[in-house]
Structure 1
């Protein structure tokens, strides 16, 4: 049966007609991202250049005045140092712990799925819940650490762990966050390790490489993409740490983070203009550090 010219033209039109189904399927996600992320982000950028004070309306354009006042605020400058310590401790410790844990989980063994399920629990818990749990551990009156130190005759069991010494407080609070973010780092690195062909390890063994040499020459180089992604998520989490220091240390300035200062400036001082400006600075700093981490750590893997 031969096609007529009209049939051929109809087929050509159908072929030229774009398939709208893929666009319809992703449309809800695109709308969700625009409404929940891009619109608030644009609003934050614009409002950061205005004086937005609910007690002194209306909003007035102030240029860079909000940013200048932030850099002259002792509470903000102090929290910058605290946040830097959070990032350095959190990213370093979570990565150092995640790599060997992922290597141990790389090989199949009995109960591996159960171990992974247990591993995910700290990451699945909200930060507020973790802060409350660890409050009992750090409690100076009957807490686990105080009781253990008293049992071992290392102290009287009444020492205050949080809120006194700045470095100790930051280290203990970041320990709680590392407990939360390390499981995700483990899973990200483990996913990268699963892509490494077993033939590479067999070739390394034939060449006389031991476990440590195989780890340095095969595992670590090929796992760098996963390590880079894990470090980026740790950078984002530590830059935006709020729940743990707020629950464990309250409103004390000893270990206040930048996101805590954003909360204080916006909702206690009702200076939303400076709050927007500080949020913008945190977002820019997070992006810059994340890009640096990717450029330094990430390497394209070609097998």
Structure 2
């Protein structure tokens, strides 16, 4: 059926006065894909990332198979000799065991505390912004500053912990760090947990803010209690945030250096792999083994992060 048009009124083309057809969304997307402007705009960022991360990474991988020692020139290809020497070094093996303890304690405590504190901060309340601002302070402090601060707290003569132990009749004045290996690692890792937990809280809290309130209201109508809602709604839907929280805790604990070095010095009691990398490279001047140890830390970090993401992360569709 033909639409009627008043006499004397000319038909306006569908494309407008100009007479051209309006491009379809598909055509616009195709034009955007063929335009070089987006690639030109992101090229500086790509070059910066490549220069800052990829080039040093490739250099580390290559140099880890060479003997790069200022006391044993010249630089020459050595194959797997650096890795074999590291595997036979008792100090390296001890530091690997210590780092494993740091990872278990740090990832577990920071994740549990991060989830618990994020749930407490999930609902708005008066002073919530101030609490979050104060919570961020330990994360904002450098690790060296935290080590110096806590070295005073752990001081056997005038430290807060020693005074509390004396007041409780547990015997004050005891040296807490450097004697017992497990106790030293646990206390040092508590300092790092104090630093990394705020970031864990923020990551989990960001995931909790995406959960609709209607789900909790429906659960309450169905008779689901507070703990039931946490198990059935909060924790499953917060798994993406929890996965990221665990990955950042893994990266931080695998590369812990500041706190053990400041609190315990170069003692092997609580030495970490990162500390050994520093000792091997800058004290022994064996940069080839230092590169090999750095490559090992990188590989373990990547594999551990992938395993955590695969085990914990789940795509959430609301």
TM-score of the two chains, using structure 2 as the length reference: 0.89
Deviation sequence 1:265-294 (CA, Å, 0-9, x none): 000000000000000001101111111111
Matched length: 294
Q: Structure 2 stretches of 5 or more lacking a match?
A: 1-16, 21-27
**SS of aligned partner of 1:106:** coil
Q: Is 1:258–2:263 an aligned residue pair?
A: no
Q: Which residue of 1 aligns with 2:45?
A: 29
Q: Residues of 2 paired with 1:28 and 1:206: CA distance?
A: 54
Aligned Cα RMSD in Å?
A: 1.8
1:144 equivalent among 143, 156, 160: 160
Q: Structure 1 stretches of 5 or more lacking a match?
A: 5-11
TM-score of the two chains, using structure 1 as the length reference: 0.93
Q: Following TM superposition, by how much is the alpha carbon of 1:160 offset from its aligned partner in structure 2, in angstroms?
A: 0.4
More helix by share: 1
Q: Which is worse superposed, 207-216 or 52-61? A: 52-61
Q: Which residue of 1 aligns with 2:295?
A: 280
Deviation sequence 1:130-158 (CA, Å, 0-9, x none): 10100100111101111111222220x22
Q: Which residue of 1 aligns with 2:64?
A: 48
Q: Which residue of 2 aligns with 1:294?
A: 309
Q: Residues of 1 paired with 2:191 and 2:88: CA distance?
A: 31
- Tell me: CA distance 1:3–1:205, structure 2 relative to 1, closer, same or farther (3 Å): closer
Q: Is 1:184–2:192 an aligned residue pair?
A: no
Rg larger for: 2
**SS of aligned partner of 1:274:** helix
Q: Which residue of 1 aligns with 2:12?
A: none
Q: Following TM superposition, by how much is the alpha carbon of 1:19 offset from its aligned partner in structure 2, in angstroms?
A: 3.2
Q: Which residue of 2 aligns with 1:232?
A: 247
2:151 equivalent among 135, 148, 162: 135
Q: Residues of 1 paired with 2:45 and 2:121: CA distance?
A: 34
Alignment of 1:71-82 (within 5 A): 71-82=87-98
Q: Residues of 2 paired with 1:172 and 1:42: CA distance?
A: 36
- Tell me: CA distance 1:150–1:60, structure 2 relative to 1, closer, same or farther (3 Å): same
